[in-house]
């Protein structure tokens, strides 16, 4: 699960990108979701998030935002937070999730401090494109470790 603020930009783009990567390696074996710490339920991804994600043939047309919840945290084998604030909010909901919750740009390091993925909300399509490519770069670089962590938790 990816976590951001409103669940209409960063986390849906990351969700869609990881889904594409995982479907190439191990089709149908993983469920990838996202949520937001201040999300209103049921909103679509922003127009620019949808457009930026098309570079990897990602389809965000069915995405609907959802609020971070204790249930979503419990269901998740791996949680990647877009900022330290998002990570802290996950742990506020469920302190026991510390071993499976990481700051996206620090993963696989378990450091609670680090650089966030900047929120492109309200900015240009170019900024959304930059954000999507940044997310894609980190996912590609860490894909094997992401799969290993999920497998490790699923087997436990």
- Catalytic residue, from 19, 112, 119, 151: name it: 119
Where on the phi/psi map is residue 54: left (φ > 0), alpha (ψ -120 to 50), or beta? alpha
* pTM: predicted TM-score of the whole model, two decimal places: 0.96
Question: Number of C-alpha atoms within 13 angstroms, CB side, residue 86?
Answer: 34
Catalytic, 4? Answer yes
Catalytic, 92? Answer no
Of 22, 94, 109, give the one whose Cα is nearest residue 58. 22
Report domain extents, the chain: 2-155
- Catalytic residue, from 4, 9, 58, 94: name it: 4
3.40.50.2300, 3.30.565.10, 3.40.50.300, 3.40.50.9100: CATH of 2-155: 3.40.50.2300
Structure tokens belonging to residue 18: 């990881």
Q: Which run of H or E residues covers position 145?
A: helix 125-155
DSSP string, 51-92: HHHGGGT---TT----B--HHHHHH-S-EEESSHHHHHHHHH
- What sign for the dihedral angle of Cα 144, 27, 86, 129? positive
Catalytic, 148? Answer no
Residue by residue, pLDDT tens for the chain (156 residues) are 999 999 999 999 999 999 999 999 888 889 999 999 999 999 999 999 999 999 999 999 999 999 999 999 999 999 999 999 999 999 999 999 999 999 999 999 988 889 999 999 999 999 999 999 999 999 999 999 999 998 887 775
Q: State the Cα–Cα distance between residues 49 and 51, nearest whole angstrom.
A: 5
- Catalytic residue, from 9, 10, 58, 94: name it: 10
């Amino acid at each position: 699960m990816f976590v951001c603020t409103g669940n209409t930009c960063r986390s849906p783009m990351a969700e869609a990108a990881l889904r594409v990567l995982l479907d190439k390696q191990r089709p149908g074996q993983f469920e990838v979701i996202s949520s937001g710490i201040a999300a209103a339920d049921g909103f679509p991804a922003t127009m620019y998030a949808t457009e930026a994600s098309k570079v990897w043939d990602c389809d965000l047309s069915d995405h609907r935002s959802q609020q971070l919840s204790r249930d979503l945290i419990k269901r998740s084998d791996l949680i990647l937070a877009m900022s330290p604030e998002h990570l802290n909010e996950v742990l506020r909901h469920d302190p026991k999730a510390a071993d499976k919750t990481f700051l996206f740009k620090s993963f696989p390091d378990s450091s609670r401090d680090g650089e966030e993925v900047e929120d492109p909300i309200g900015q240009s399509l170019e900024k959304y494109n930059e954000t999507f490519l940044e997310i894609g770069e980190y996912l590609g670089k860490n894909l094997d470790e992401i799969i290993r962590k999920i497998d490790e938790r699923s087997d436990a």
